[in-house]
Amino acid sequence: MGAPRAPLAPLLRDHGRRREGARTPFRGCRAASRRGGRVSRAPAPGALVSRARASLAIPGASLTDVESLWCTPERWPEFVDGLASVGSADPAYPEAGSVVEWRSFPGGRGEVREIVTLCVPGEQLASRVEDELTTATQVVSFSEAQGGATVSIELDYEIRKRGPFTAVTDLLFVRRAQADSLRRTLAALAAVATGGPA
């Protein structure tokens, strides 16, 4: 396997233009979703899983507002790296078991499906992310920070089709591209949340 194509680089995507108009109300997730605690990040035995992560403090934005923005799929094209459009979103999102399907820009990952596995209100949202080439567990954590909020993303991903050079390619190229994509997403999220330029 040679240098990774665009679909392997962004598990979380190139932000689009900011939309005008009122924010779609945050649906939230029921407190009962706390049952089962935080998601386990330990990979299954034998799994060839890589991890990318990013974190950003957002001054001047409340935890509630940032979480609401993240949990409203209609707003994702404004800040999620590589996402062109949201095809469908369960009305129950972000309840556990709800699904969002979206499409990347040309040359990207194509059709992507996200299934919520855990929602802890005000703390954590975990999803299984699937496309043709990769499967991943994405964990987004929210916390209060002095004068704002902090958002952290951890992405444990596995390349479906592996070859003799997949591990080297992942180490040298893919993992860095994934982390860069997460950072771009968080930077755009901060801009949208605070009303600044994306």
For the stretch 107-152, pLDDT in tens is 888 999 999 999 999 999 999 999 988 899 999 999 999 899 999 9
CATH classification code of 9-16+49-194: 3.30.530.20
Flag the least confident range among 51-55, 93-97, 98-102, 155-159.
155-159
> Does residue 30 carry a pLDDT above 80?
no
- Domain range annotation of the chain: 9-16+49-194
DSSP the chain: --SPPGGGS-SSB---PPPPSPPPPP----GGGGTT-SPP-PPPTT---EEEEEEEEEET--HHHHHHHHT-GGGGGGTSBTEEEEEEE-TTTTSTT-EEEEEEPTTS--EEEEEEEEEETTTEEEEEEE-SSEEEEEEEEEEEETTEEEEEEEEEEEESS--TTHHHHIIIIIHHHHHHHHHHHHHHHHHHHHT---
pTM value is: 0.77
Average pLDDT for 178-188: 96
Give the pLDDT of residue 166.
64
Answer with the residue of higher pLDDT: 67 or 10: 67
